[in-house]
């Protein structure tokens, strides 16, 4: 059934993106906001704004009951979760289904299956997708030591229920395993309510690559190419590129096939991202996880394929068939997305909310900005610090990098402390320009060099 | 310019401020911190810090936790939350009981039952004045102020948003 009115339950740039996509399809948009977001861009764009609760997320954007109640009371027939917050909570998807609200995302069962990391790996394995050599769950530190000795150090010890870099540590020898296992397990129990741990071989020279997929819910799946998100700080992505220029075509084909096979085996519905580790020394890929949502970095894939993925989310959720075939989705350009955050890169990335007094983004060919910010906008202190995504597109990586450098140089923001100096520094660094980097490059090479520029 | 030193204001902070204000002998006090703006006045006709400039910004009384207003029945306390009000102003000397979150407003404990309160009724701070429902979860709202109910603004069975004025009370 086509969607007539959607409740947008996220905030920031993605909420504005969702409202615009809805309007482009003739769908009415109701924006749920916390009290702190009454003046937000999404609230300005929406047909109706409802204040659901006070600023803290727990009483607003994280309250599934409240949001579904809001959808029902405002006559919405669909709900778009955005990313983060409740986007990958089985509970929300189930609640929507129970009340006749179309959840714009995967089925609740799919979210549940993929949200459990061990189960997700079993699904991948069953679909013939390569995994990092590793273990099933580990009962205690002694088991972990034995497993590590047979896998070979270094190893990565992770919480089954963890995510976003939380609940994991690297062990380089027996002592590390013994010292860290119980502590990490206790922390995981504390943070996620589940202390289950498992282990993997740690790949030293890796890139983070991920495939953007879309399924129609019947088993048909297409992909929109891959993104290279290797530039990360504390497992938070800072730069995202499409395609992964460092990957040979043969491996790329295997990457895409693996991603499609995995989600097709689940009869996946709507947008998803299959994440892989690209082991550059062994020229191999290993499955990491599936993110059952639209991601922050989806615009990079939109730019290189020419498809509007949020619009496609609405169409699939509204019951339209996936009318594209894979050959209609060639990757022809290169795109780089960088995340502009209200944080001070010179002071341990301390968040720096406040009122924007000057907002002057670059404009021109190949420059896209996805942001909810404007001059005089108050960046509230309650939420994450991302204030925008600058997405640069060109016909190849080399010209894309040049255009990025030039665009970042012209980006002016005042009133907030932002990470712009860091973004500029990365974009101009010889390793980045030459695309000679891995997932640890930002923390180990770039940040020390960046900090040295301060002195 | 960052404002990283900003922290959240708690109900206790406000009570402390009220105490300071009462003991100070000041006529007015206007405090702005982050998103919260507090205007205290001993003048019953006070309309808020910028009433003349922005008549639309209705002075609205303490929201949840409504107990904020409880300790000081005599002083007309005006906490003017920045942002669009959209509500009719609260008459001077009266305070609003506001919605603790979005939900459906009910005047009675169950369909057909007597309403919790009627206009003209005396309420205590702990008197239950209405229900807010979210997905069949019914949460009673307490008055948070001792006084006489002057208006019932929200309509029975209708959705109310967070911070919306439900009931207007004249403290005593």
Domains of chain B in start order, with CATH, are 11-78 (no CATH), 95-171 (2.40.50.100)
pLDDT band at residue A164 using 50, 70 and 90 as cut-offs: low
Please report the pLDDT score of residue B81 as a whole number. 36
Q: Are A45 and A16 in contact (CB under 8 A)?
A: yes
Paired tokens of B133: 């429902």
Q: Which residues of A touch B161 (CB under 8 A)?
A: 50-52
Active site residue A293: yes
DSSP assigned state of A84: S
Minimum-distance CB partner of A65 among B81, B104, B135: B135
Residue keyed to tokens 């977001």: A37
CA distance B156 to B159: 9
Tens digit of each residue's pLDDT (9 = 90 or more) over A183-201: 999 888 888 888 899 998 8
Q: What distance in Å separates residue B23's CA from the closest CA in chain A?
A: 31
Bridge partners, residue A80, by sequence? A8
* Structure confidence by residue, pLDDT tens digits, B155-168: 999 999 999 999 99
The pLDDT of residue B3 is above 50: no
Size of interface A-B (CB pairs under 8 A): 80
CB A90 within 8 Å of CB A108: yes
Interchain CB distance below 8 Å, B102 and A53:
yes
Checking if the pLDDT of A66 tops 90, the result is yes
Could you give the percent of chain B with pLDDT greater than 70?
63
Per-residue pLDDT at A188: 87
Work out the minimum CA distance from A80 to partner chain B, whole angstroms. 19
Check: CB of residue A12 under 8 Å from CB of residue A383. yes
What mean pLDDT, rounded, does chain A reach? 95
Contact yes or no for B87/B164 (Cβ under 8 A): yes
B101 CB near a chain A CB, below 8 Å? yes
Distance from the Cα of residue B120 to its chain's centroid: 18
The mean per-residue pLDDT over the stretch A287-314 comes to 97
For the cut 60, the answer to whether the pLDDT of residue B18 exceeds it is: yes
**Any A CB within 8 A of B131 CB:** no
Residues from chain A contacting residue B4 (CB–CB below 8 Å): 350-353, 381
Confidence of residue B82 (pLDDT cuts 50, 70, 90): very low
Tell me which of A106 and B26 has the higher pLDDT: A106
Q: Confidence band (pLDDT; 50, 70, 90) for A160?
A: confident
Which has more confidence, A282 or A36? Answer: A36
Does B5 contact A at CB distance below 8 Å?
no
Compute the average pLDDT of residues B95-104. 95
Residue B55's pLDDT band, with cuts at 50, 70 and 90, is very low
Average pLDDT over every residue of A301-330 = 95
Q: Do A55 and B35 touch (CB under 8 A)?
A: yes
User: Which of B134, B158, B165, B166 is best to mutate for the A interface (most A CBs within 10 A)?
Assistant: B134
Whether B72 and B22 have beta carbons less than 8 Å apart is answered as yes
Burial (CB count within 10 angstroms: exposed 0-12, middle 13-18, buried 19+), residue A448: exposed
- Specify the pLDDT at position A280: 95
Q: How much is the pLDDT for B7? A: 59
Which one of the listed residues A17, A293, A333, A339 is annotated catalytic?
A293
Shortest CA distance to A135 belongs to which of A215, A149, B45?
A149
CA B53-B55-B57 angle, 5° bins: 105
Q: Does B23 lie at the interface with A, CB-CB under 8 angstroms? A: no
Task: Judge whether A23 is closer than 8 Å to chain B, CB to CB.
Answer: no
- pLDDT band, residue A161 (cuts 50/70/90): confident
Q: Is the minimum CB–CB distance between A10 and chain B shorter than 8 Å?
A: no
Instruction: Supply A379's token pair.
Output: 């960046």
**Which residue matches tokens 């002083």?**
B75
Note whether A360 contacts B: Cβ–Cβ < 8 A: no
- The strand ranges marked E within A280-423 are 284-291, 334-341, 343-344, 350-351, 354-355, 358-360, 367-370, 378-379, 386-394, 412-414
Q: Could B162 and A53 be called an inter-chain contact, meaning their C-beta atoms sit closer than 8 Å?
A: yes
Q: Distance between CA A159 and CA A198 in Å, rounded?
A: 6
H/E stretch holding A298: helix A298-305
Per the listing, tokens 């968040």 go with: A351
In angstroms, what separates the C-alpha of B79 from chain A's closest C-alpha?
Answer: 15
Inter-chain contact A69–B104, Cβ cutoff 8 Å? Answer: yes
Q: Which stretches does DSSP call E strand in B63-102?
A: 77-78, 95-98
Mean pLDDT estimate for chain B = 74
Q: Which of A257, A228, A213, A212 is nearest to A397 (CA)?
A: A228
Q: Taking CB atoms and an 8 Å limit, are B161 and A52 in contact across chains?
A: yes
pLDDT at A451 over 90: yes
On the question of pLDDT at A162 being above 80, the answer is no
Cβ-proximal residues to A435 (8 Å cutoff; 6+ apart), any chain: A245, A246, A397
- What does the DSSP assignment read for A241-290? EES-TTS-HHHHHHHHHHHHHHHHTTT-EEEEEEEEEEETTTTEEEEEEE
pLDDT for B34 equals 60
CA dihedral A394, A419, A414, A367 (to 10 degrees): 10
pLDDT at B64: 33
pLDDT of residue A136: 86
Cβ atoms of A9 and A66 within 8 Å: the answer is no
**Candidates B3, B83, B163; nearest CB to A353:** B3
- DSSP helix/strand/coil, A93: helix
| B63 band by pLDDT with thresholds 50, 70 and 90 | very low
Do the chains contact at A66 and B103, CB–CB below 8 Å? yes
Rg, C-alpha atoms of chain B: 16
Which helix (H) or strand (E) is A401 found in, with range? helix A397-410
pLDDT at position A116 is 92
Residue A109 parent element (H or E): helix A108-115
Question: How distant is the Cα of B66 from the closest Cα of chain A, in angstroms?
Answer: 14
Contact B35 A65 (CB under 8 A): no
Confidence label for A181 from pLDDT (cuts 50, 70 and 90) = very high
pLDDT band for A441, please (50, 70, 90 cuts).
Answer: very high
How many Cβ atoms are within 10 Å of A18's Cβ, its own excluded?
Answer: 29
Tell if the CB–CB gap between B101 and A55 is shorter than 8 Å. Answer: no
CA-nearest residue to A358 within chain B is: B1
Within 13 Å and on the Cβ side, how many CA atoms surround A451? 10
B70 contacts: CB under 8 Å, gap ≥ 6? B125, B144, B145, B146
Mean pLDDT score, A292-312? 97
Verify whether the Cβ–Cβ distance B2 to A65 is below 8 Å.
no
- Burial class for B169, CB neighbours closer than 10 Å (0-12, 13-18, 19+): buried
Query: What's the pLDDT band for B46 if we cut at 50, 70, 90?
Result: low
pLDDT > 70 in chain A, percent = 99
Per-residue pLDDT at A205: 94
Nearest Cβ partner for B2 among A68, A74, A417:
A417
Structure-token pair, residue A373: 């910010």
Give the span between the Cα atoms of A214 and A195, in whole angstroms: 33
What structural domains and CATH numbers belong to chain A? Answer: 5-104 (3.40.50.20), 133-201 (3.30.1490.20), 206-451 (3.30.470.20)
B37-41's contacts with Cβ under 8 Å and 24+ in sequence apart are B37/B79, B37/B80, B37/B81, B37/B82, B38/B14, B38/B79, B38/B80, B39/B78, B39/B79, B39/B80, B40/B75, B40/B77, B40/B78, B41/B75, B41/B76, B41/B78
Predicted confidence band at B116 (pLDDT cuts at 50, 70, 90)? very high
- Which tokens hold the place of A132? 């990092």
Contact B135 A69 (CB under 8 A): yes
H or E segment to which residue A397 belongs: helix A397-410
Nearest to A38 among B83, B103, B134 (CB): B83
Partners of A353 on chain B (C-beta within 8 Å) are: 2-4, 6
B129: its two tokens: 């004045």
Peptide bond into A243 cis (omega under 30): yes
Among A103-112, A163-172, B61-70, B92-101, which stretch is predicted with the lowest mean pLDDT?
A: B61-70
Pair B118, B148: CB distance under 8 Å: no
Confidence of residue B75 (pLDDT cuts 50, 70, 90): very low
pLDDT surpasses 70 at B51: no
CB nearest B162 (choices: A52, A344, A415): A52
Q: What are the residues whose beta carbons fall under 8 Å from the beta carbon of A163, sequence distance 6 or more?
A: A117, A289
CA angle A96, A274, A253 (to 5 degrees): 140
Question: CA neighbours within 13 Å on the CB side: how many for B131?
Answer: 19
């Amino acid at each position: 059934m086509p969607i007539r009115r959607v409740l947008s339950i996220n905030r920031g740039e993605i909420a504005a993106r969702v409202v615009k996509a809805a309007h482009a399809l003739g769908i009415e948009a109701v924006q749920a906001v916390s009290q702190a977001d009454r003046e937000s861009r999404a609230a300005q764009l929406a047909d109706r704004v409802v204040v659901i609760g006070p600023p803290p997320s727990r009483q607003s954007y994280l309250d599934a009951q409240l949001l579904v109640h809001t959808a029902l009371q405002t006559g919405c027939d669909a709900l778009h979760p955005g990313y983060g917050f409740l986007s990958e909570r089985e509970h929300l998807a189930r609640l929507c289904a129970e009340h006749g609200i179309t959840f714009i995302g995967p089925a609740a069962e799919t979210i549940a299956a993929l949200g459990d990391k061990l189960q997700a790996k079993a699904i991948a394995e069953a679909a013939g997708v390569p995994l990092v050599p590793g273990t099933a769950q580990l009962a205690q530190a002694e088991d972990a030591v034995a497993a590590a000795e047979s896998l070979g150090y270094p190893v990565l010890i992770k919480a089954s229920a963890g995510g976003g870099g939380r609940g994991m540590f690297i062990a380089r020898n027996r002592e590390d395993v013994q010292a860290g296992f119980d502590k990490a397990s206790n922390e995981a129990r504390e943070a996620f309510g589940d202390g289950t741990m498992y282990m993997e071989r740690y790949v030293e020279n890796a890139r983070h690559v991920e495939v953007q997929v879309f399924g129609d819910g019947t088993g048909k799946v297409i992909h929109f190419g891959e993104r290279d998100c290797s530039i990360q700080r504390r497992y938070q992505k800072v730069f995202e590129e499409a395609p992964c220029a460092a990957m040979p075509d043969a491996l790329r084909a295997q990457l895409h096939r693996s991603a499609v096979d995995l989600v097709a085996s689940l009869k996946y519905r709507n947008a998803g991202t299959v994440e892989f580790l690209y082991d550059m020394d062994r020229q191999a890929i290993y499955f990491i996880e599936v993110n059952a949502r639209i991601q922050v970095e989806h615009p990079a894939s939109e730019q290189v394929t020419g498809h509007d993925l949020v619009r496609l989310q609405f169409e699939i959720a509204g019951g339209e068939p996936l009318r594209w075939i894979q050959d209609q989705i060639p990757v022809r350009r290169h795109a780089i997305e960088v995340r502009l955050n209200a944080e001070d890169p010179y002071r341990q990335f301390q968040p720096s909310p406040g009122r924007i007094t000057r907002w002057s983004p670059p404009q021109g060919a190949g420059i896209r900005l996805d942001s909810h910010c404007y001059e005089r906008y108050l960046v509230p202190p309650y939420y994450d610090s991302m204030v925008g995504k600058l997405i640069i597109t060109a016909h190849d990586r080399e010209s894309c990098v040049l255009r990025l450098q030039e665009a970042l140089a012209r980006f002016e923001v005042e009133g907030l402390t932002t990470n712009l100096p860091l973004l500029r520094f990365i974009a101009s660094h010889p390793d980045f320009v030459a695309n000679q980097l891995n997932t640890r490059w930002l923390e180990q090479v770039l940040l020390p060099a960046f900090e040295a520029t301060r002195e | 310019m960052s404002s990283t030193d900003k922290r959240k204001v708690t109900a206790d902070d406000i009570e402390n401020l009220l105490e300071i204000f009462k003991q100070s002998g000041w006529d007015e006090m206007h405090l702005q911190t982050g998103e919260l703006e507090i205007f205290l006045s001993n003048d019953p006709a006070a309309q808020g810090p910028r009433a003349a400039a922005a008549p639309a910004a209705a002075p609205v009384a303490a929201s949840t936790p409504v107990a904020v207003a409880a300790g000081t029945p005599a002083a007309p306390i005006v906490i003017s939350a920045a942002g669009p009000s959209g509500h009719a102003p609260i008459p001077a000397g009266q305070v609003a009981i506001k919605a603790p979150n979005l939900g459906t407003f009910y005047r009675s404990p169950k369909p057909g039952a007597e309403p919790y309160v009627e206009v003209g009724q005396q309420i205590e701070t702990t008197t239950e004045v209405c229900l807010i429902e979210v997905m069949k979860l019914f949460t009673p709202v307490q008055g948070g102020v001792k006084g006489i109910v002057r208006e019932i603004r929200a309509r029975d069975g209708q959705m109310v948003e967070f911070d919306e004025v439900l009931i207007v009370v004249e403290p005593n």
